[in-house]
Structure 1
Amino acid sequence: MNISVVIPLLNEKDSLNELHDWIANVMQSNHFSYEIIFIDDGSTDGSWQTIEALSQKNNAVKGIRFFKNYGKSQALHAGFLETQGNVIITMDADLQDNPEEIPGLYKMISDEGYDLVSGWKKKRYDSVIAKNLPSKLFNWAARKTSGVKLNDFNCGLKAYNKEVVKSINVYGEMHRYIPVLAKNEGFSNIGEKIVQHQARKYGKTKFGMERFINGFLDLISIWFLSKFGKRPMHFFGALGALMFFIGFCFAMYLGIDKLFINPEGRLITQRPQFYIALVTMIIGTQFFVAGFLGEIILRSKEDKDRYKIDKKINL
């Protein structure tokens, strides 16, 4: 199979028929063998019934339905597990991503050898204040933190070699930083393609201030995990040892001062340096123990399902 199109969605009933027909026309005109996997992330507007109807009309349509809303990252993860195509395309269900871009993205993966190609919505039709400016800030911070030189991390229209989606683990709200996750797994041939962005035709945007804040928190998390996720002792152990050493030096100074320099002076317990030394050594020890616990958890953890699937279609 040439292409798997993975489409996570939440309450996008009005756009699904038009999106399906558009994708099918592009695939047929380019003679691609394909599948379309819709992941219903807890919709309450009848989106699942629309997916069921589309699957009756087109055997290439497949569906996954979550019991409730778990988030876009979980939806993508579930879709990636089911893909069978050599190239995987992800796109949003709101018709803001143009299916006409699929052949170009496919060529960059299959012919030019990219591991991942991210769309770049250079000209956007979103609200400047509500989404455009936050996206620019996100992208700047992500470039500086990750070293991945992309202009639009947030674009839902991306193409992947099948090895990429089978290797990465998308969780939390890390879908924004899939290129960074791919880089951390060793897939360094990451490209970018300017794609057409379209104004939303139906429904309303799911973007809000909560997603803006969560995006930055996830960026900090992915930076930390990329550097210390597989060796937590290197971070917590080094920080703990440093703090314990500083506290120990304070304690040694106090002891030498009391015994040899100023034996008639105040008791050690009456000096503020004593409490600084004590607290610093305690915190240093706690950090060191946290490093050990992190190593133990890392070696004994078991993956648990982060979502619960209600129904599947053609899978």
Structure 2
Amino acid sequence: MDISVVIPLLNEEESLQELYNWIASVMQSNRFLYEVIFIDDGSTDSSWDVIEKLSQTNESVRGIRFQKNYGKSQALDAGFEIARGRVVITMDADLQDSPDEIPELYDLITKEGFDLVSGWKKKRYDNVIAKNLPSKLFNWAARKTSGLKLHDFNCGLKAYKNTVVKSVKVSGEMHRYIPVLAKNEGFKNIGEKVVQHQARKYGETKFGMNRFVNGFLDLITISFLSRFGKRPMHFFGLLGTLMFVFGFISAAYIGIMKLYKLSQGMKTILVTDNPWFYIALTAMILGTQLFMAGFIGELIIKSKGSEKHYKVREKLNH
């Protein structure tokens, strides 16, 4: 199979039939062997009914229905797990991503040798204040933190080699950072393509300021995980050791000075009356706790098996 199109969605009943017809037209005109995987992330409208009807008349349509709304990352992860295409294309279900981009994205993966190609919506039709400006600030911070020179990390239209989607684990709200996750897994050939952005035709945007804030929190998380995710002891152990050594040296200094003053017949105060005693004690306790956090983190990584953070309610054409 040439292409798997993975489409996460939430309450997009009005656009699904039109989106599938558009995708099918592009695929057939280019003679691609393809499948379209719809992941219903807990929709409360008739989205699943539309997907069921599409699957009954089109063998290329596959569907996954979540028990409830888990988020876009979990939907993508479920789609990646069952994708069979040589190239995997992700796009949003709101018709703002153009299926006409698929042939060029496919060629960039298969002919140009890219592992991943991220779309760049250079010209956008979103609200400038509500989405464009926060998106630019977010993308600037993501570039600085990750080292990837992509203009639009949050673009839903991306193309991947199948081996890439089988290698990355997308959870939480990490879908924005799949290029970073791929880079951390050793896929270095990551490119970018300017893509068309359509004005929203149906429904309303799911974007909110909470997603913008969560995006920055996730950026901090993935920055930490990319450096210390496999070896938490390198961070917590080092920091804990430094703090413990600082506290131990401070305590030793207090003790030596007290003994020296006693040997000289000098009047001394109680050790517990010296504020440095409490600083040293706190540093040693914190140092021990940080070291243990690193140790426990190492044990969790070694013993943790693969876990799914979603429950599938129904599947179609599996």
Q: Report the TM range for the smaller structure's normalisation.
A: over 0.9
Question: Within the alignment, does 1:116 sit opposite 2:116 as a pair?
Answer: yes
Mapped to 2, the partners of 1:314 and 1:57 lie a distance apart of: 11
Residue 60 of structure 1 aligns with which residue? 60
| Structure 1 residue 14: Cα displacement | 0.3
Question: Within the alignment, does 1:50 sit opposite 2:53 as a pair?
Answer: no
Residue 149 of structure 2 aligns with which residue? 149
| Structure 1 residue 134: Cα displacement | 1.1
Residue 24 of structure 2 aligns with which residue? 24
Mapped to 1, the partners of 2:159 and 2:197 lie a distance apart of: 16
TM-score by length of 2: 0.98
Residue 104 of structure 1 aligns with which residue? 104
Question: Within the alignment, does 1:133 sit opposite 2:133 as a pair?
Answer: yes
Mapped to 2, the partners of 1:223 and 1:176 lie a distance apart of: 13
Mapped to 1, the partners of 2:26 and 2:307 lie a distance apart of: 38
| Structure 1 residue 3: Cα displacement | 0.5
Counterpart of 2:186 in 1: which secondary structure?
Answer: coil
Mapped to 2, the partners of 1:62 and 1:297 lie a distance apart of: 35
Mapped to 2, the partners of 1:26 and 1:255 lie a distance apart of: 79
- Kindly provide the amino acid, as one letter, of the partner of residue 54 in structure 1: L
Mapped to 2, the partners of 1:291 and 1:64 lie a distance apart of: 38
Residue 244 of structure 1 aligns with which residue? 244
Mapped to 1, the partners of 2:274 and 2:138 lie a distance apart of: 47
| Structure 1 residue 264: Cα displacement | 1.1
| Structure 1 residue 302: Cα displacement | 2.2
- Kindly provide the amino acid, as one letter, of the partner of residue 281 in structure 1: M
Counterpart of 1:285 in 2: which secondary structure?
Answer: helix
CA contact (8 A) 2:235 2:294 kept: yes
Percent of residue pairs identical = 71
Question: Within the alignment, does 1:88 sit opposite 2:68 as a pair?
Answer: no
Counterpart of 1:11 in 2: which secondary structure?
Answer: coil
- Kindly provide the amino acid, as one letter, of the partner of residue 33 in structure 2: S
Residue 215 of structure 1 aligns with which residue? 215
| Structure 1 residue 265: Cα displacement | 2.2
Residue 302 of structure 2 aligns with which residue? 299
Residue 170 of structure 2 aligns with which residue? 170
Mapped to 2, the partners of 1:55 and 1:229 lie a distance apart of: 40
Equivalent pairs counted in the alignment come to 315
- Kindly provide the amino acid, as one letter, of the partner of residue 227 in structure 2: K
Mapped to 1, the partners of 2:307 and 2:90 lie a distance apart of: 24
Question: Within the alignment, does 1:284 sit opposite 2:315 as a pair?
Answer: no
Residue 308 of structure 1 aligns with which residue? 311
Q: What RMSD over aligned residues (CA atoms) do the two structures have, in Å? A: 0.9
| Structure 1 residue 59: Cα displacement | 1.1
- Kindly provide the amino acid, as one letter, of the partner of residue 43 in structure 2: S
Structure 1 counterpart of 2:270, from 248, 267, 270: 267
Uncovered stretches (5+) of structure 2, i.e. residues with no partner: none
- Kindly provide the amino acid, as one letter, of the partner of residue 191 in structure 1: G
CA contact (8 A) 2:261 2:268 kept: no
Counterpart of 2:297 in 1: which secondary structure?
Answer: helix
Counterpart of 1:38 in 2: which secondary structure?
Answer: strand
Mapped to 2, the partners of 1:297 and 1:80 lie a distance apart of: 25
| Structure 1 residue 226: Cα displacement | 0.9
Residue 76 of structure 1 aligns with which residue? 76
Mapped to 1, the partners of 2:200 and 2:81 lie a distance apart of: 29
State the Cα deviation string for residues 190-225 of structure 1 (Å, max 9, x = none): 000000001100000001111111111111111111
Mapped to 2, the partners of 1:33 and 1:70 lie a distance apart of: 30
Counterpart of 1:13 in 2: which secondary structure?
Answer: coil
TM-score by length of 1: 0.98
Mapped to 1, the partners of 2:39 and 2:83 lie a distance apart of: 12
Counterpart of 2:15 in 1: which secondary structure?
Answer: helix
| Structure 1 residue 304: Cα displacement | 2.3
| Structure 1 residue 103: Cα displacement | 0.5
| Structure 1 residue 310: Cα displacement | 0.8
State the Cα deviation string for residues 154-203 of structure 1 (Å, max 9, x = none): 00000000000010000000000000000000000000000000110000
- Kindly provide the amino acid, as one letter, of the partner of residue 9 in structure 1: L
Q: Which runs of 4+ in 1 moved over 3 A?
A: none
| Structure 1 residue 64: Cα displacement | 0.5
Counterpart of 2:112 in 1: which secondary structure?
Answer: coil
